[in-house]
Amino acid sequence: MKTEIRILKRPTLKEPRLVGGLPGSGYVAKLVVDHLVKETNAELFAEIYSYSFPPQVMVKEDGTIELMKNELYFAKNRGNGDLIILNGNAQAVSPEGQYELSDKALDFVKELGVKTVYMTAAYITGEHVKKPKIYGTATDLASLREIEKFGVTIMKEGSITGSNGLLFGLAKQKDMTGICLLGETSGYIVDARAAQVVLEVLAKMLDFKVDMTNLENKAKETEKLLKKVEEMERRAMEQQSGFKAPPIKKPLEYIS
């Protein structure tokens, strides 16, 4: 196992907070972070490589490849401080890789002054909903009381797996505060609506504005997609009387 942080530029940051999200169920976390990077014109300053990422390269639209990696961006003066954004195209595939990467990434951002980590994730229900709720959990009770003010429903059970869980959870061991915001999603589609809800709350919490137009457009596409899925399911049920089509298990399309 080997995790390497390649520093492209070492920014000087004021009261930086980390916001992160890595590919997972419904791509909720990744959609949030992709949008945030774009809308804040955040600047890439470090890349994280791990021997535990899927052993492959991905071909981009321009024909060149990219390696599996996580990325750190910064955006200055967003609300009451600067912002560090953790994005990525992969999660480590082994427990050891997940822990090592989260551990090292947190040590690195702590050095840069981060005191609070906001991770995003999906809250999977198996049901399509029109207005996704936003759920939250944290490393401490004070943070829970804080996020409740923004309409976040506090979780009472369950687990958050992978980097989106470890990156705020391990903050506890490092005397940092960790918060996780989860958008309600069926888990069956790439869910831009859930991402939108998460990002709106996150922006309010961190006291800065994000243009939501692009994410809203994606959310509308998500909803059209959903209607198609439901129509297909309805027809399947009519044709095969007595047989209920099982929910579709994989993302139908990644609207990026």
Task: Check binding of 64 to a second copy (CB under 8 A).
Answer: yes
d(CA 114, CA 14): 9
Task: Check binding of 49 to a second copy (CB under 8 A).
Answer: yes
Task: Check binding of 160 to a second copy (CB under 8 A).
Answer: yes
Q: Is 63 left (phi over 0), alpha (psi -120 to 50) or beta?
A: left
Q: Which stretch binds a second copy (CB under 8 A): 12-20, 35-43, 75-83, 154-162?
A: 154-162
Task: Check binding of 151 to a second copy (CB under 8 A).
Answer: no
Task: Check binding of 125 to a second copy (CB under 8 A).
Answer: no
**From 8, 10, 12, 57, residue interacting with a second copy (rule: CB under 8 A):** 57
Please choose, from the candidates 76, 14, 69, 17, the residue with its C-alpha nearest in 3D space to the C-alpha of residue 43: 76
Q: Which C-beta is closer to a second copy: that of 49 or that of 208? A: 49
Cβ atoms of 85 and 72 closer than 8 Å: yes
**From 7, 10, 14, 58, residue interacting with a second copy (rule: CB under 8 A):** 58
Task: With CB under 8 A as the rule, give the number of residues binding a second copy.
Answer: 55
Cβ atoms of 106 and 171 closer than 8 Å: yes
**From 27, 53, 74, 188, residue interacting with a second copy (rule: CB under 8 A):** 53
Q: Which stretch binds a second copy (CB under 8 A): 7-15, 34-42, 70-78, 169-177?
A: 169-177
Please report how close the Cβ of residue 151 comes to a second copy at its closest, in angstroms. 15
Three-class HEC string of 182-215: EEEECCCCCCHHHHHHHHHHHHHHHCCCCCCHHH
SS3 state of residue 124: strand
**From 11, 45, 51, 221, residue interacting with a second copy (rule: CB under 8 A):** 51
Task: Check binding of 166 to a second copy (CB under 8 A).
Answer: yes
Packed helices 192-206 and 28-39: angle between N→C axes, nearest 10 degrees: 50
d(CA 78, CA 161): 29
Task: Check binding of 139 to a second copy (CB under 8 A).
Answer: yes
Site string for a second copy, 67-96 (x = CB under 8 A): x------------------------xxxxx
**Look-up of token digits 């049901």:** 127
**From 162, 185, 205, 218, residue interacting with a second copy (rule: CB under 8 A):** 162
Please choose, from the candidates 177, 208, 201, 210, the residue with its C-alpha nearest in 3D space to the C-alpha of residue 77: 208
Cβ atoms of 96 and 52 closer than 8 Å: yes
Q: Which residues bind a second copy (CB under 8 A)?
A: 1-2, 6, 49, 51-59, 61-65, 67, 92-100, 103, 136-141, 144, 154-163, 165-166, 168-170, 172-173, 178, 180
